[in-house]
């Protein structure tokens, strides 16, 4: 699929980069002239995916996180968040609401929130190799909507 525009970022899995990642994603998505609500949805989904890399992929170390956003045809925004961390044994189980390996501090709602805020969510993971989360969201320009 040909992208009209894209950005690629890479940053270490430090929690202070969560706010940076979602703000950068929102700034890029602004090209599509989204509503405030759509921008909030993009920020939320990026925050969830990036936090998962920091908390789960690299629990005891600082690793690399990749964030790629692409604008595809017809106002489709594609968000890809990638890590080279521990990976997920059973992706289907991990995506179920309330499923968590994070103990008391986590609720197991991250994937559920990503799913409800995006049009599509795809998770590819290999234990020991890493995880890639790809999300799609169509953003209709406010001008065209009017």
Active-site residue numbers? 48, 52, 106
Closest CA to 47 of 114, 132, 120: 114
* Share in percent of the chain as helix, strand, coil (round to 5): 40, 30, 30
**Listed ranges 6-14, 32-40, 53-61, 66-74: which one lies at the site for ligand ATP (CB under 6 A):** 53-61
Measured between alpha carbons, how far is residue 64 from residues 22, 36, 59, 83, 86 in Å?
Answer: 16, 30, 13, 6, 12
Residue 24 interface partner, choices another protein, Mg ion, ligand ATP, none, CB cut-off 5-8 Å depending on type: none
User: Residue 11's beta-bridge partner residues?
Assistant: 65
Q: Which of 4, 6, 7, 15 binds another protein (CB under 8 A)?
A: 15
Residue located via tokens 């525009």: 5
- The listed partner (another protein, ligand ATP, Mg ion, none) that binds 75, CB under 5 to 8 Å by sort, is none
Given 34, 85, 110, 130, the residue binding Mg ion (CB under 5 A): 110
| Cα-trace Rg, the chain | 15
What is the contact surface with ligand ATP in residues (CB under 6 A)? 48, 52-53, 55-57, 83, 85-88, 94, 99-102, 106-111, 131
Interface positions with another protein (CB under 8 A): 15-16, 18-19, 22, 36-37, 40-41, 43-44, 47-48, 51, 54-55, 97, 104-107, 109-110, 112-113, 116-117
């Amino acid at each position: 699929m040909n992208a009209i525009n894209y950005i690629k970022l890479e940053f270490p899995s430090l929690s202070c980069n969560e706010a940076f990642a979602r703000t950068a994603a929102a700034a890029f998505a602004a090209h599509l002239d989204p509503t405030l609500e759509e921008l909030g949805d993009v920020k939320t989904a990026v925050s969830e995916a990036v936090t998962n890399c920091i908390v789960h992929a690299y629990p005891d170390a600082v690793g690399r996180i990749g964030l790629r956003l692409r604008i595809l045809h017809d106002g489709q925004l594609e968000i890809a968040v990638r890590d080279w961390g521990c990976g997920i044994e059973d992706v289907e189980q991990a995506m179920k609401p309330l499923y968590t390996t994070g103990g008391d501090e986590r609720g197991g709602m991250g994937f559920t929130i990503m799913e409800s805020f995006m049009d599509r969510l795809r998770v590819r993971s290999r234990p020991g190799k890493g995880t890639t989360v790809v999300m799609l969201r169509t953003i209709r320009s406010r001008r065209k909507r009017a």
